[in-house]
Amino acid sequence: EIELTRAQQTSGGQPFFAGATPAHGDFNAFHHLDNAMLLEPDILQRTESLSEWFGRMRSLPQLQGFLSNRPVLNGIGEDPGLEDRLG
């Protein structure tokens, strides 16, 4: 969390880690934070800049399409697995 916050704060006011558009690192960090939030939904409340970045990522149209159709991750902490939304 500390390193991600530092990266966001040193991005020179850019909306994403590497500049004006999201790059591979943004999507990688988003994936891990999104999964972490399944266990700790409030994990980003302490870090305003990281929370704002997460909101920008989540609002990307392409990512919204993926998130609405991806398999559901269930059984966290017990027996993790994916549930296919399409059957």
For residue 81, what are the β-bridge partners?
A: 74
Yes or no: say if 43 and 36 are a contact pair by the CB < 8 Å rule. yes
Six-digit token string for 9: 């704060």
Global confidence as pTM:
0.77
Query: Reduced to 3 states, what is the DSSP secondary structure of residue 44?
Result: coil
What's the rounded Cα separation, in Å, for the pair 79 and 52?
Answer: 32
Question: Tens digit of pLDDT per residue, the chain (87 long)?
Answer: 556 666 665 667 788 888 899 999 999 999 989 988 888 899 888 888 889 999 999 999 999 988 888 877 777 777 777 777 666
What's the rounded Cα separation, in Å, for the pair 45 and 36?
Answer: 13
